Structure 1
Amino acid sequence: MSDTGSVTDLVENNRRHWDERVPIHTASAFYDLDGFRAGDEDIDRFQLDELGDVTGLDLAHLQCHVGLDTLSWARRGARVSGLDFSAPAVREAADLAVELGLDHRARFVTADVYEAIGVLGADAFDVVYTGNGALMWLSDIARWARTVAGLLRPGGRLYLAEFHPLTGVLDDAHGATAVRDYFSRGARTYDSPGSYSDWDAETTYNTVTEWHHTLGDVISAVAGAGLRVEFVHEHATIPFQRYGALVADGARFVYPDQCARLPLMYSLAASAPAR
């Protein structure tokens, strides 16, 4: 692990990493594009309940990757704009939108998340959405929150569903013991060959960098950007087997029965002030 290198270089390494994994992901059972084409969606039930009806709303999905969640919201009636820094991911998302006949209410653009206002438009959205495994790739969470605030119309909402920051500091086997410092910020650079969708995949760009943000960091950044926090909910379910001890519960994973549980995910909603 290393903490060296400029943020620009670290982000560029991350982009190469994600570019290379796009074809691995789209071919994988983990993403199951055939199932998605047939009508399946992979959004947690709690997300659907908490965000509610999106029919007729303009929704921006930041860090959208290959666009499955983005297009799920389009299927539910939203006009969606997906943004990601990986051009191959954006191409896959745009092609899938055309294939599914959703391109009339879905657009995808390649850009850094901090450029979203200039690319997507200020005060242009009723909802800004971000999903699993996005915030850890951002070096500046306060700047991200200001970007979200700039995208939202008066009265618009941020909704995010994210892996709980505790999951990044607990042991991989049981998810019960802290093996890293929860309060340690800064860049954490490490090697990650293969992919979470196929650990045996042969890959070249394996050096990645994450930035750890505590739950307090995220809430404070959102509030500091002028958004009113509506709720923060913690959840004991996660869409993949983050720890060896977790067991399947339908399409999600949970701690076993009679096991002391820790939060695996959290969701947050916040609203922009009316004018």
Structure 2
Amino acid sequence: MYSPTPADWHEANRAHWDERVPLHVASDFYDLDSFRAGKDALRDFERAEVGDVTGRSLLHLQCHIGVDTLSWARHGASRVVGLDFSEPAVEVARDLAAELGFTADRAAFVASDVYDAREAVPDTSYDIVYTGVGALCWLPDIQRWAETVAALLSPGGFLYLAEFHPLTDILDDETGSRVINDYFTRDAWINELSGTYADLEAATANDRSVQWQHPLGEVVSALAAAGLRIEFLHEHDVSLFPRFDSFEVRDGYHRFPADRPRIPLMYSLKASAAGKASTA
């Protein structure tokens, strides 16, 4: 349900995520045993669009338990830093990094709100800021987020964002074919749902969460206003989870049936900072 943003939104969301960390650690969705054995957590289009990260520093905002962050380290990033507001998630990420043999100089994780990232992270700037896959909906102020990203980029560095398409938030959950919500609303969406995307049947207590829709134009305009140059904006007809009941799995992704017209389910963008690219 839509409503004005409640005063306790931050505390409610953090309690929501803190409780779900052990559920995610134990889930088949994250399959940490396979990840420890070498499975890549990144999506194929992300690797292709980001390109070679060898020798580059990378900051992952809203990193959760760090599997995407550490995957970039495995792909050759010289230093990765993950940031998340959930202390239990950061503790898991640190333990995973140590298990995989990464020292703190190579892979570091910090607990902080994303808006405080500039003060919390160990370095003043990064070649790549990476984020997304269900991250932006937890932030009420997308302009402040964009300004934070821009301030954290090295000259010539870039943001890479892979995110669920906001169009999916306005469609019905069953078929994904009817418009039932307001695309342009600025009110908060308050959920009271038990379980988690990694285990829909899990018993949970902290079920209240507060989220916001961010239309595509709002995200792009905020990044441009923060001084970043949009290099590309790509839309994808795949999802990472069964967002609609009518989805089927093909080629490792969740999609609408093949006989249905396609709509964008995810998007990705690259936005670069001015200046000569860093060689750090």
Query: Normalized against structure 1, the TM-score is what?
Result: 0.97
The Cα of 1:2 is off from its aligned counterpart by: 5.2
Q: How far apart, CA to CA, are the structure 2 residues paired with 1:121 and 1:97?
A: 17
Q: Distance in 1 between matches of 2:208 and 2:120?
A: 28
Q: Does the Cα contact within 8 Å between 2:5 and 2:188 map onto a contact in 1? A: no
Bigger CA drift: 170-179 or 133-142?
170-179
Contact between 1:137 and 1:209, CA under 8 Å: does it hold in 2?
yes
The 8 Å contact of residues 132 and 162 in structure 2, kept in 1 or not, is answered as yes
Tell me what 2:97 maps to. Answer: 97
- Structure 2 distance, partners of 1:149, 1:2, is 30
Distance 2:2 2:62 in 1: 25
State TM-score, norm by structure 2: 0.95
Equivalent residue number for residue 140 of structure 2: 139
Structure 2 residues not aligned, in runs of 5+: none
Describe the superposition over 1:190-239 as per-residue Cα deviations: whole angstroms up to 9, x where unpaired.
20111111122111101000011000000000001000000100000111
Name 2:110's counterpart in structure 1.
109
* Matched-pair contact (CA < 8 Å) for 1:122–1:152: no
SS state at 1:178 partner? coil
Moved over 2 A (4+): 4-7
CA distance in structure 2 between the partners assigned to 1:4 and 1:232 by the alignment: 31
CA distance in 2, matches of 1:221, 1:193: 33
Aligned to 2:22: 23
Kindly tell me the number of residue pairs found equivalent between the two proteins. 274
Letter in 2 for 1:81: V
Percentage of matched positions with identical amino acids: 54
Once the two structures are superposed, residues 85-128 of structure 1 have per-residue CA deviations (whole angstroms, 9 ceiling, x without a partner) of 00000000000000011234100000000011111267510000
In 1: Cα distance, 2:40 partner to 2:166 partner:
25
Contact 1:17–1:205 (CA under 8 A) maintained in structure 2? yes
Q: Is 1:178 equivalent to 2:183 in the alignment? A: no
Q: What are the residue-to-residue correspondences of 1:1-275 with 2, within 5 Å?
A: 1=1, 3-7=3-7, 9-78=8-77, 79-103=79-103, 104-120=105-121, 123-274=124-275
Which of 127-136 and 176-185 deviates more?
176-185
Unaligned 5+ segments in structure 1 are none
Moved more, 45-54 or 115-124: 115-124
Q: Is the 8 A contact 2:173 2:245 kept in 1?
A: yes
